[in-house]
Each structure stands twice: as structure tokens, then as C-alpha cells.
Chains A and B, each alone.
Chain A
């Protein structure tokens, strides 16, 4: 805003934001502090800084629970979901940039589907997946997440931003529809692809309810389920639980910090579009 705020007001703003940041960061600090603490974590008063920090809890995670298995499952499911999102959303996004009979109906359908939270569909979704014989499978875990409406609109917006004249020129040069998509549209929509990858990765990586419903087999469980299981049979008596939490959080924090711009663009473009 144009008028320069006076110095005390500027200080007040910083003070408020520092206080807010403190509240936002405190849980991160507390869980990391607990994860590297060797002493009895229930000792009172708890130390504010860890005495002789060490990484023993992280080693524990590896041995106490089938961590590598959970990790593998999470990675496989996320990879399927990300691949599905990029390909299927790009296809649907492209289709929506074209004129065809029923276009408005399809758009209306997508927009109304956005208002149906996945949680409201769990019972039939479980029954459908069971009927298809996909319980306890990687594909079943990823299936409902293979395409996301927000991300379809991200692609649609990116394709629409490509100048019409460029596409017409390509068409005049005799490029087929496929070529136009692969050689012209997609290379010009790299930010949209990045947004798709990041959003779908974070959503599938963090997803808990769906794997909770359809994986009874412990060898097919993903990291969030492993974490919840660990919590239920360890009754948070050990620092390893918090080391596990830190390990699980690290990838999404890293992805977010590296690609904050794409992440936020995806959320807000989805938001302003619908």
C-alpha cells in the first residue's frame, strides 16, 4: 500500500508475524527435539534443548517396524498416482480446451464433483473396489487418485494460455493433433506439469483414510498406516515414534520448499477456477 507505514507500526507488524511464526514452527522443533533425545521422553520437566542429541531413534525405526516395506509401498502408490495424474489430467485438460457437444455438461459435472469430498464416498468406494478385486493392491490404492479435477483445470488454463496462432500455424504445417499436443502444448506447459506432479505426490503420499479402508494386509500398507499402527502398539512410549514422524514428513517438506511456487500456483488456480 502506497503510504509508508511509520516505524513503530512496522515494528508492530514484524512482532506480530514473528509471534505467529513462533507458534507455527514450535511443533516442528518439539518433534525434532524429541526425535533426537536419548533420555526418558516422559521425564518432567522436559528439556527445551536435547541433552547429548543422537540419531539412535532413527536407527530404531528401521528395526522396530518394517519401515523399508512401508516406504516402498508409499513410493509405488505415489508413483502410480503421479503418472496417472500427469497423463490423464493433461488429456482431459486438453479435451476441455476444444469445442465439442456436451462441453458445458462435462464442465458442470467436473465442478460439481469437486464438491463431493472423497470421505463422503468411502462405503460404496470400498464396495466397488472390493468387487473389482483390487483390495490390498497397489493399483487399488492409487485408483481413486489417478485423476484430480483441480489439476485438470490447471492443465486447461495452461493450454489456453498458449497463443492460438501458434497452434493454427502448427496445424497449417500439417502437424497431427498428437504432434501438436506433444511438441507444442506440453513443452509450453512445464509449470502445469510440475504443479500436477507436486500436488498429486503430496496428496497420495499423505493419504490415510483410503489405504486404511482397503489394505488389511500389513505388507501392502503405506507409511501413514505404518505410523498409525506404530502409534497404536507402542502407545508413544518411545522417541522412535517421533523419529518415524520426522522421516515421513521430510519428503513433503522438501518437495514443498523446493517447489513452493508451483504448489501454491496449483492450489490457487484450482481455487479461483472453482
Chain B
């Protein structure tokens, strides 16, 4: 480009402007709905505020209240941890299915579609379906249990303090196992086949091939599944809200449902913000631990 056309005339500057204009809308959305809320949550958690009264700095008051006086917080924290702790079992099951589907088995793609089919469904509808599956009279689970003589009377799965949480978790597993399977399947397919051939020539037995080749090579995919499992404790709001709304008592209360109820049912936005900070901290901590356990760089992306 010739000089003297001014700033705008320069091709490089024109391109930079274009790039900036292209990035701005997305950046604005992520700023408004991701970055800004994160900071706002932190500030709000140190304030006493509600829509009708001015904000006042109260320091750690909400955190003290949470720690010492809020029993529901501890119950929901515990439930959230159980929710997260269930995900390694699901990932193991999904790995089993992925290994079975990854062969040249006839009909493998049909099985894959069936297992994945529940993932894109609306979670509200999934909750309604599973409420009905667990129902004492019309549900097929109780019917099967009673017809086979395993139980004498109907089991109120979602009304029972012992069974409600596992039941909700199982419904969540039903919906998400296909997603884990797809991630692991992609990981399996990226393992070079010659590794297996070399191992076979060396006479390595099947279990050794699995533990020495498959599992180590799958590490990034498994790490990703673990992160998704941790995130699920947040995203399972819909399922819990529809199936039990945290009940019976607070037996299925998760931190996210506690946050929702504190903020939007009791209008304690400030306190709910403190709860959110705690849950987000938990999420970061667990993700960091998972990353360390996976070898430190499993989440690394973009090598260029």
C-alpha cells in the first residue's frame, strides 16, 4: 500500500479494525454474562443489599452465617459432593460402552445412537419422564420390583430420604452417559493402532494393553469427562428442580438449588451471591485437582 493515504488507507489498520469489529459482539456478550457477573458476585457477597435498599459493606458476614448458621448450606454442599463423586462411576460405565461400541461390531452405530439419544433432550421433560418412571403406582420401576417379588409394597423413590438423591443421580446418569461415551469414543479413535500391534507382537496380554496403552492415551478425554462431571453439579439444576425441588426436606438440595431459592424465592441476593462464590471456588479447586491428577497439562490447548 502506498504511503500518504492516512491511517485508514493502510491495509493493516483496516484489517485490524475489521478484526476488532468481528470480535466485539461476542466479547461484549461474554463480558456481560460471564466476566462481569463473576466479579459482581464477589462484591455482592461482601455486601448487604436487596433491590429496595442501598448496599452496605458487611465484610464476611454472609460467609460466617453460611458456615455457622445455615444447615441447608452444609446439606447441599454434601449433596453436591455426592453428585460429583458419582461421576467417576458413570465415566467408567461410559468407557465400558465406548470400548464395546468402538470395535467393528455389527450395528455399533445403532447402539451408539441409542445411548446418545437421551443427551440432546430437554432436561425438564427428562425430569418429568423419570418422576413417572419412579412413580409408586404408574411407574414401571415399582411395577417391575413388585411383580418380581423383590419388594412387598411400593417404594416412594423420590419421597424417601434415602432413595431420593440416588434416584435423581441415576436419572442424570441416564441423560449424560451418552455424552461421556462420545468424548471417550473420540479419544479411543485417536489412539494409533500400531501401538496395539506392537504390544501384541511383544505378547502383552489384553489387560496390559488396556492399562498400559488405552488408559494413558485416553487421559485427556477422561480429564475432560471429569471436568464435565464437576460442571454437572451446577447444570443439574433443571433435573432437581423438576424431580424433587430439593425435597424431601433438603435430601436432594444442591448448592445451585439453594442459590436459586435464596435469591429468587427469598430475595436474599447478597447471601445467594456468597453461596455462588463458594460453589464456584469449589468448582475451580476440583478442576485444578483433576488437572494435577491428570498430569498437569491435560487441559492445555492451542499449541501454536
Contacts and interface: CB of A to CB of B under 8 A. Distances in A.
Asked if A and B are interacting partners, one says yes
Interface in B133-182: 133, 135, 137-140, 143, 146-147, 174, 178-179, 182
Given A24-B114, A120-B283, A123-B272, A30 B182 contact: no
Interface in A40-72: 41-46
Contacts of B197: 2
Interface string A104-126: 00110111010111111111111
Contact of B137 (A42, A111, A260, A264): A42
A223 B121 CA distance: 13
B29 A88 contact: yes
Contacts of A117: 231, 234-235, 283
Interface residues of A, number: 93
Nearest to A239: B138
B143 A46 contact: yes
A92 to B, nearest CB: 4
Contacts of B74: none
Q: Is the interface of A mostly helix, strand, loop or mixed?
A: helix
B41 A31 contact: no
Contacts of B29: 88, 143-144, 146-147
Contacts, number: 268
A1 interface: yes
Contact of A45 (B114, B143, B224): B143
B131 to A, nearest CB: 7
B25 interface: yes
A110 to B, nearest CB: 7
B231 A34 contact: no
Given A125-B37, A252-B122, A1 B183 contact: no
A106 B23 contact: yes
B132 A30 contact: yes
A100 B16 contact: yes
Contact of A27 (B133, B183, B263, B284): B133
19 contacts: A27-B130, A45-B143, A89-B26, A92-B23, A92-B26, A92-B27, A120-B276, A121-B34, A123-B276, A127-B269, A146-B29, A147-B29, A149-B30, A206-B124, A213-B264, A224-B124, A228-B241, A252-B120, A274-B301
Closest 4 CB pairs of A and B: A121-B37, A124-B37, A124-B40, A91-B22
